[in-house]
Amino acid sequence: MRTRELQTLWWDWLSTTERLLRSLHEQTAAITLRDVARVETIQPEIEMLMERIKTVDEQAVACAQRLAAELGAEPNLRGLVQVLDKAEAQQVQGMANRVTVAARNVQEVMAKNRALLENEMTYINGTLTLIAKAAVHAKSPYRKGADSSILVDQAA
């Protein structure tokens, strides 16, 4: 089998992606529960897994290009699949499809987590703005006089 190294790299990529997805889902739960300590604990693991995926991806691309050059095919998946025998071509195409689906899943979860974090930051910004406005405009015997105005964001 000529594509053994490429398939091994893709299996490694897929297993790393599964671990990354578990960590991302754990991050989603931590963000939803507003558990800042847990989010901070998970982040280094996510970054390490992302680096591992990037490294394996670069190795797989180099392997695929080297294999395409050896077989005299175009340096893309379609060209590689066309020059392989039918059984091996189906295996390679199947693995490529799995990698594509896993990559989309990771992108979707990362986009969801990014949106959750942005919403939390907007919420915090709005809350702080309301507190600052209340501190500036409150008429209370406990209010300290401010010598300078407090900067208030317009997010609220």
pTM confidence score = 0.77
**From CA 126, how far away is CA 131, in angstroms rounded?**
9
The pLDDT, as a whole number, for residue 156 is 46
Q: For tokens 């998946």, what's the residue?
A: 77
- Candidates 110, 12, 98; CA nearest to 58 is 12
> Which residue segments constitute the domains of the chain, with CATH numbers given?
4-113 (1.20.58.300)
pLDDT, tens digit only, all 156 positions of the chain? 788 999 999 999 999 999 999 999 999 999 999 999 999 999 999 999 999 999 999 999 999 999 989 888 888 888 888 888 899 999 999 999 999 999 999 999 999 999 999 998 888 887 777 777 777 776 655 555 555 555 555 554
